[in-house]
């Protein structure tokens, strides 16, 4: 009885076959097999999925939403480039393919939202000139990209309405005066039990610390409103500090142990000493310690690292 059939490995031989076909021009071409697109896993910034097809979003930034909605965010100071557009467009295509297969997710059920601080003129020009898209201003800060299979929009945080989108606006733009700070605090007072609002408010205060200090009375009110959250953060910070301190101490001890073993092999180069003392990953240090225990010379240790 024949044994189980061995699975044929098509890809390696295809890599060879392509090079055979292009043999005459091979000297002018660079071939790479299974080229890695990045060192980090590909990740969509924010994915929003409607729980039902009949749901409609009333908020202005979500009115274009369909079943599956991809959001790419660029913080103030970062520019939304043409390459960024194609990267996120590729993410949308990959999500469509990986979300279940067999056309479970249709392109017509997807949207892409690009959130950035300033209007990306170069990208807008590229979309209109090379992809035949139109870019239409729907309202302050919201521009719809029309003419592609995917429904897409630009949300420009510097142009958003302070009345309709105060939190998104001030999360990405400076609070310029104490009156605005006071208005935000009053607005927050109605939402203080919501941890999401607390997180956003805390960030806005940190970024605009001087402006909020000017609103002295309101800052007292803010401290009272956020007392629980601030205390929780202080406790969390102390615990994190203790944990980091312990980890730091262990790492330093392991690094010193590595150096002690290496000293028996000869003089340790300055750069190597700095690298060992600067390493804070305990797993790496333990591995180096084992190598140092076996190494007959500094050079052997460096090769094994």
Distance from C-alpha of 292 to C-alpha of 289, rounded to nearest angstrom = 5
Distance from C-alpha of 220 to C-alpha of 213, rounded to nearest angstrom = 10
How sure is the predictor about 259, in pLDDT bands with cuts at 50, 70 and 90? Answer: confident
Q: Which pairs with CB-CB distance under 8 Å and at least 24 residues apart come from 123-129?
A: 123/80, 123/81, 123/82, 123/84, 123/85, 124/154, 126/82, 126/85, 127/85
What percent of the chain shows pLDDT beyond 70? 84
Distance from C-alpha of 219 to C-alpha of 267, rounded to nearest angstrom = 59
How sure is the predictor about 109, in pLDDT bands with cuts at 50, 70 and 90? Answer: very high
pLDDT of residue 110: 94
Residues whose CB is less than 8 angstroms from the CB of residue 162 and which lie 6 or more positions away in sequence, other chains included: 169, 170
208-217, 228-237, 245-254: range with lowest mean pLDDT: 228-237
DSSP, collapsed to helix, strand or coil, labels residue 181 as helix
How sure is the predictor about 47, in pLDDT bands with cuts at 50, 70 and 90? Answer: very high
Distance from C-alpha of 28 to C-alpha of 9, rounded to nearest angstrom = 28
Identify the residue with better confidence: 246 or 143. 143
């Amino acid at each position: 009885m024949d044994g189980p059939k061995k699975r044929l490995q098509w890809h390696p031989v295809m890599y060879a076959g392509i090079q055979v076909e292009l043999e005459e021009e091979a000297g002018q071409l660079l071939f790479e097999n299974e080229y890695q697109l990045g060192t980090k896993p590909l990740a969509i910034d924010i994915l929003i999925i409607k729980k039902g097809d009949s749901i409609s979003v009333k908020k202005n930034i979500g009115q274009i939403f369909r079943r599956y909605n991809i959001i790419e965010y660029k913080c103030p100071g970062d520019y939304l480039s043409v390459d960024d557009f194609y990267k996120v467009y590729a993410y949308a295509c990959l999500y469509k393919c990986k979300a279940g297969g067999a056309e479970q997710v249709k392109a017509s059920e997807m949207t892409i939202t690009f959130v950035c601080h300033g209007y990306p003129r170069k990208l807008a020009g590229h979309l209109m000139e090379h992809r035949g898209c139109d870019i239409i201003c729907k309202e302050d800060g919201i521009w719809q990209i029309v003419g592609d299979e995917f429904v897409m929009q630009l949300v420009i945080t510097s142009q958003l309405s302070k009345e309709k989108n105060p939190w998104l606006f001030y999360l990405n733009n400076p609070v310029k005066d104490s009156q605005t700070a006071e208005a935000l605090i009053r607005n927050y007072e109605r939402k203080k039990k919501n941890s999401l609002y607390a997180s956003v408010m805390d960030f806005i205060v940190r970024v605009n610390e001087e402006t909020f200090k000017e609103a002295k009375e309101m800052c007292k009110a803010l401290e009272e409103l956020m007392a629980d959250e601030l205390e929780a953060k202080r406790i969390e910070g102390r615990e994190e500090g203790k944990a980091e301190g312990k980890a730091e101490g262990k790492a330093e001890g392991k690094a010193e142990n590595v150096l002690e073993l290496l000293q028996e092999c000869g003089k340790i180069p300055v750069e190597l000493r700095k690298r060992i003392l600067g390493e804070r990953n305990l797993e790496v240090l333990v591995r180096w310690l084992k190598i140092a225990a076996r190494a007959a010379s500094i050079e052997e240790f460096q090769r094994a690292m």
